[in-house]
Amino acid sequence: MEQEEFAMMRIRETMRDLVARWGRLDTVSRQILLVLVTVAVLLSVPAALINGDWAGLLLNLGTELAGAAVTFVLLDQIVGANTRKRDLSAQLSSQVNDVAKAAAEDLRRHGWLVDGSLQQVQLSQANLQDANLRNANLREVVLFQANLQGADLRGADLSGAILTRANLGGANLSGAALTAAAMLNVECDPRTILPDGSHWTPRTSLHRYTGLVDPTADF
């Protein structure tokens, strides 16, 4: 009897937790939860029908539901993290400076600014003025016409990035990787610090850092 009461208590607690989560779930998450609960029931009922062990059914069902709940929570965390990452990436492309900078800080806190999560992200015309993008992994990111004035890009990986017509006035690119980056008509000023630590001058060709031929150079 004690085992049955314990099993019922466990089932009630698990169901309360799942019901509490239900209202916060999207359609896909609800479908996943229903599948897990259905599987838990299907795994528990046949043995009871064969053996007539209904007390055992409660114990097994409680265990299976608890396992389903744990599995769902883990899946929900993964899906939630991916959704959050996607939302922050979208905010990073904002033309509102405060929104874009806040997104950069959140991405850094989660480790997503440096782990490659932003590779090939579309950030055209993003207002990243004064943003902290130090050591960011921005490989192949599209920064067409982006405002990067005063941005901290020290140690950032911008290999293959599209920086055409971006504004790098006052940006710090010390130690940044620009291999194969598209930098046609990039705007710089004497405050711009280049990958080798030198300051930009009107005679500077940024293509010496990219390894690409400067299409505007005279031959």
pLDDT tens track for 73-85: 555 555 555 677 8
Residue 120: the pLDDT is 87
Domain ranges for the chain:
2-90, 116-219
In which band, very low, low, confident or very high, does the pLDDT at 102 lie, cut at 50, 70 and 90? very high
Residue 54: the pLDDT is 46
CA separation, residue 214 to residues 57, 175, 181, 184 (Å):
74, 21, 11, 8
Is pTM, for the whole model, over 0.85?
A: no
Cβ proximity of 94 and 73 under 8 Å: no
Q: Is the pLDDT of residue 178 over 70?
A: yes
Residue 170: the pLDDT is 97
Q: Is the pLDDT of residue 72 over 50?
A: yes
Q: What is the residue type of 13?
A: E
Residue 110: the pLDDT is 87
* Span 179-215, pLDDT tens digits: 999 999 999 999 999 999 999 999 999 999 998 766 5
> Which of 64-73, 87-96, 105-114, 206-215 has the weakest average pLDDT?
64-73
- C-alpha dihedral sign at 130, 132, 136, 138: negative
Q: What's the mean pLDDT in 69-75?
A: 55
Instruction: Give the torsion through C-alpha atoms of 50, 53, 58, 60, to 10 deg.
Output: -60
Q: What's the mean pLDDT in 95-123?
A: 93
Mean pLDDT, the chain, integer: 79
What is residue 77's three-state secondary structure? Answer: helix
Q: What's the mean pLDDT in 117-145?
A: 95
Q: Is the pLDDT of residue 17 over 60?
A: yes
132 strand-pairing partners: 152
Question: For the residues of 103-139, what is the DSSP string, one character each?
Answer: HHHHHHHHTTTTSSTTTT-B-TT-B-TT-B-TT-B-T
Residue 1: the pLDDT is 47
Q: What is the largest CA-CA distance in the chain?
A: 93
Residue 23 CB neighbour total at 10 angstroms: 7
Say which residue, 70 or 210, is predicted with more confidence.
210
**For a pLDDT cut of 90, what percent of the chain falls above it?**
51
The helix (H) or strand (E) run that includes residue 34 is: helix 27-51
**Rounded-to-integer distance, Cα 208 and Cα 219, Å:** 15
Say which residue, 38 or 219, is predicted with more confidence.
38
Residue 119: the pLDDT is 87
CATH for 116-219, among 3.40.1280.10, 3.40.50.970, 2.160.20.80, 1.10.3210.10?
Answer: 2.160.20.80
